[in-house]
Amino acid sequence: MDWTQASKKKFKIRKNEQGVALFMVMSVLSILAVLISEITYQAQLNHKLSYDAVDQVKAHYLAKSGMKLSLLRLKVFQQIQGFLSGNQNGSLKKLIPQRALNMIWSFPLSFPLPTNLPGMTGLQKDAITDFNNNSGFEGAFSAYISSESSKFNLNSSLSRYAPEIKKEKPKPNQNRTSTSTSGSSQPTNPNKPNNQKENNTQFNAELARKSLRDYITRLLNQKFLDDENFSARYRDFRVEDLVENILGWIDRSYESKSSERQDDPPMKKAPFYHLSELHMIRPMDDDLYDFLKPHFTVAVTPGVNVNQINKEELMALVPQMTKEEADDFFDFRDKPDEDNLFKDEKGFFDYLSKNVIAFVGAPDTFKEFQKELKESGIQIITDETQFKVEVQAQVNQATRTIEAWVDLGGKTLMTPKAGQTSPSTASTKTNNASLPVLTKGIPPSKPDPGMVIRFMRIY
C-alpha cells in the first residue's frame, strides 16, 4: 500500500468520526432542552401553587372577617332589641318600627362597597372608592344572614328536637290544697308531687310525622299548580315514600314502610346533621332537592316566625288559606308605610280568624286548626332568634365559604327599669367600697352567653 491509499483511508476515518460527534452534540442539546423545559415548567407550577396557597389563606381570613362583621351585626341587633324591650313604658319601641330593626341583619353586606347605587353624588362615590382602596382588603366577599325560624325543622318529629311547648298558666282554682279532717294540707291531685307544674299538652310523635308529611305534600301540590313542567316530571312521585325514608333515616325506632325502601346507603338512624343529607334519601334527586332546600332547616328553632315566612311556607302552614288570601296577607304585613308586623301569636291568629274565609264565622274550625298546630309541636313566634350566616370570599381564583348557625335565644342584658338594678352594674356599699353583687339567675361561673354559634363549617 502506497502513501496515497493510506492518506485516503485516514481521511475517511476522520470523516466518520466527525459525523458521530455531530450526532452526540445534537443529542446532548436535545436532552438539555427537555431538562430546561421541565425545570422551567416545574418552577412556574411551584410559583403558581405558592401564590394560590397564599390566595387561599387570604380568602380564608377574608371570609372570617366577613363572618365577624356579620356576628357584630347580630349582636348590635340583639342589644338594640334588648334596650327597646327594657324600656319602661315601651315608648322607644313604638318610635322604631321592627322592620327597620330587622334591616340591621337582613340587609346583604358585600365588599368592595358598591359605588353605582342610584342617588349617589360624586363626592360619596369618591369617598367610598377611597375607603375601598385604603381598607387593606384584597379580593371580595359577600355576607348573607337569613332567618331559620321561618323554615320547617326536618328533625321535628323527634321529641328532643321539637320546640319547647308553651305551658299554659294554671287557672285560679288549680293547685289548691285541700285540708283534711286532721288539718294537714294535701295537693288536689295526689298522683303529682308538690310544686309540679301542670302541662296538658304533650308532644305527639304521630302528629309531628303527619305534620311533616302534610307540609311536603302541600309544598309539592302548590308547585304542581304553578309549574306545569315540574308537575309533568313528578306526576308519579310518591310523597309517602320520601317521608317514610326521612323518618327511617332520623329515628332508630321507626321502621320505614316505603316501597322505595333503601338499603344502599343504609339508614343513618340519627338526626339530620346537614340538609345535604337529603341527597341520600330515596327517591330524592337534584331538582327536587333544590326545590325543598329553602323550606327546611336542621336547626332547632323555637317555632315558625310568621314575620319572616314566605308564601309557599305560609300556605303549607295554613292549608285553608287561598292564594288570593295569601297575597292579601303579604300586602298587609309588608306594607312599606305601616308597621304591620305581628307583635305576638295572638295578633297572627286574630288576622287569620278575620281574613281567611274558612275561619270567618267558623270558630270550631279555627279552634281545630289551632289545636292541630299545638299537638304537632308547631309554635307561632314573631321575634327572630335563629339565624344562618353564609359568607363567600374570593381572592383571585381562590374561594372560601363559611356557614354558621347562630342562636340569639340567650338572655339579653337589658337596660333596667325604674327601681331595678342592672346585672352588670349591681353593687353594694361595704366600708365605702363598691363590691359587685350577682343578680338572681346569673351565676358567676356561667355568664349570660347572649349569642351562641350552634354549628359552623368551612369549605
Give pLDDT tens digits along the chain (459 positions).
Answer: 565 666 656 555 555 555 677 778 788 888 888 888 888 888 888 888 888 889 999 999 999 999 999 999 999 998 888 888 766 555 666 777 888 888 899 988 988 888 887 888 888 888 888 888 888 778 899 999 998 888 888 888 887 777 665 555 555 554 444 444 344 434 444 444 444 444 445 677 788 888 888 888 888 888 888 888 988 888 888 888 888 888 888 888 887 776 666 666 778 888 888 888 888 888 888 999 999 998 898 888 888 899 989 888 888 888 889 889 999 999 999 888 888 889 889 999 999 999 999 998 888 999 999 888 887 778 888 888 889 999 999 998 899 999 999 988 754 333 344 444 433 333 333 333 333 333 333 334 344 457 888 888 999
Q: How many CA atoms lie within 13 A of 441 on its CB side?
A: 9
What does the pLDDT read at residue 71?
A: 94
What does the pLDDT read at residue 264?
A: 64
- Please, which residues have CB within 8 angstroms of residue 185's CB and are 6 or more apart in sequence? 177, 178, 179
- Spatial distance between the Cα atoms of 74 and 196, rounded to a whole number of angstroms: 37
What does the pLDDT read at residue 376?
A: 75
Tell me the three cell numbers of residue 42.
Answer: 416545574
Q: What is the dihedral of CA 352, 354, 358, 359, to 10 degrees?
A: 80
Report the sign of the C-alpha dihedral through residues 427, 429, 435, 437, in that order.
Answer: negative
- Spatial distance between the Cα atoms of 270 and 280, rounded to a whole number of angstroms: 13
- Spatial distance between the Cα atoms of 291 and 306, rounded to a whole number of angstroms: 21
